[in-house]
Amino acid sequence: MSRVTLSRYLIEQTRSHNTPADLRFLIEVVARACKEISHAVSKGALGGVLGSMGTENVQGEVQKKLDVMSNEILLEANEWGGHLAGMASEEMDNAYQIPGKYPKGAYLLVFDPLDGSSNIDVNVSVGTIFSVLRCPEQHLSQNDALNEQAFLQPGTKQVAAGYAIYGPQTMLMLTLGDGVKGFTLDRELGSFVLTHDNIRVPETTAEFAINMSNQRHWEAPVKRYVSEMLAGKEGVLGKNYNMRWIASMVADVHRILTRGGIFMYPWDAREPEKPGKLRLMYEANPMSFIIEQAGGASTDGRQRILDIQPNSLHQRVPVFLGSKEEVARVTGYHQE
């Protein structure tokens, strides 16, 4: 069997779909950084990488050592190649400027360097989420600092998105807007190998993912939907549902890509001024792009996430994504 590595897949995409060479390079560099993060994650206590830094990020979360290390790995890997006009991340207050000694390129890279960081110390799957946008013409300048406005584009403008999951296997899931491909890291070869060719999210499901401990703080449509699922076969939905909550979005979304389900992180009344917990640019948009490319759906309860016009880099959003039928149902409840 001839193996299709990530590099070969990208080269073939260039031939068949005119994927630009600098985008191909960008994806390869991100994948290389993810291998490095995977390696650091797998060392755990032996590498002294567990525990927190004692600092907070702009969202007021305590940063884990691996949050900061992963962020640095991604910055260092991507700053010199000439393919980026700038970067932005969950772990940085402001947009990252490409150092003046390097040329700037056409793309913007946005990432959640380590997703699920509350799971690091308990040896449960974590990941890296990334999204690629084109830098708008008017913001492309070799000399001037990049304006944050350049990043504020709706998710429909993403040219690529993906995530790496550091679990029992390290995998890279990728979309260039032409379906979703899954690659598994072959540690002996040192390369990502195509193992999941045409990923589809089943349209129906009987599995949901939500942090149930927040139930009392949810809005009425979410309370209604979850109570209907909990009522099982005897309830209006007429079937028994199973529940999973890993508390790493990458791992929950990965399960949904693999066998279907619905993932929800709704607005809740604990912090009423925040629209939700998850970040639009680093989490919701890339995951929504991937889910839609696999035949699923993604909304904020009221509208398609990919259509939202962002107004700030660290903007948050409620998230309902996964199997089409279920996302349509809970979105419908919000619209009633």
CB atoms within 10 A of CB 202: 18
Contact status: 79 vs Mn ion (CB under 5 A): no
Contact status: 120 vs ligand AHG (CB under 6 A): no
Among 112, 252, 268, 326, contact with Mn ion (rule: CB under 5 A): 112
Which residues 303-332 are close enough to bind Mn ion by CB under 5 A? none
- Pick 115 or 252: Cβ nearer Mn ion: 115
CA distance linking residue 101 with residue 79, whole number of Å: 10
Among 36, 61, 203, 219, contact with Mn ion (rule: CB under 5 A): 61
Least Å from the CB of residue 256 to ligand AHG: 12
Least Å from the CB of residue 59 to ligand AHG: 8
- Per the CB < 8 A criterion, the answer to whether 244 and 261 are in contact is yes
Least Å from the CB of residue 266 to ligand AHG: 11
- Pick 135 or 300: Cβ nearer Mn ion: 300
In the sheet with 126-134, reading across from the earlier edge strand, the strands are 84-89, 107-115, 126-134, 160-166, 170-175, 180-186, 191-196
Which residues 228-287 are close enough to bind ligand AHG by CB under 6 A? 247-249, 265, 277
Instruction: Give the one entry of ligand AHG, Mn ion, none that residue 64 binds, where binding means its C-beta sits below a cut-off of 5 to 8 angstroms depending on kind.
Output: none
Number of residues that bind Mn ion (CB under 5 A): 5
Site string for ligand AHG, 303-322 (x = CB under 6 A): --------------------
- The tokens describing 102, both together, are 């390097």
- Looking at 38-46, 114-122, 232-240, 300-308, which segment touches ligand AHG (CB under 6 A)? 114-122
Is residue 178 annotated as involved in ligand binding?
no
Least Å from the CB of residue 90 to Mn ion: 5
Is residue 326 annotated as involved in ligand binding?
no
Least Å from the CB of residue 224 to ligand AHG: 21
Least Å from the CB of residue 269 to Mn ion: 21
Kindly give the pairing relationship between strand 319-322 and strand 297-299.
antiparallel
Instruction: Give the one entry of ligand AHG, Mn ion, none that residue 94 binds, where binding means its C-beta sits below a cut-off of 5 to 8 angstroms depending on kind.
Output: none
Pick the closest to residue 165 from 183, 187, 177, 179 (CA basis). Answer: 183
| Annotation: binding site for Mg(2+) | 90, 112, 114-115, 283
Where do contacts with ligand AHG occur on this chain (CB under 6 A)?
Answer: 61, 90, 112, 115-118, 211, 247-249, 265, 277
Where do contacts with Mn ion occur on this chain (CB under 5 A)?
Answer: 61, 90, 112, 114-115
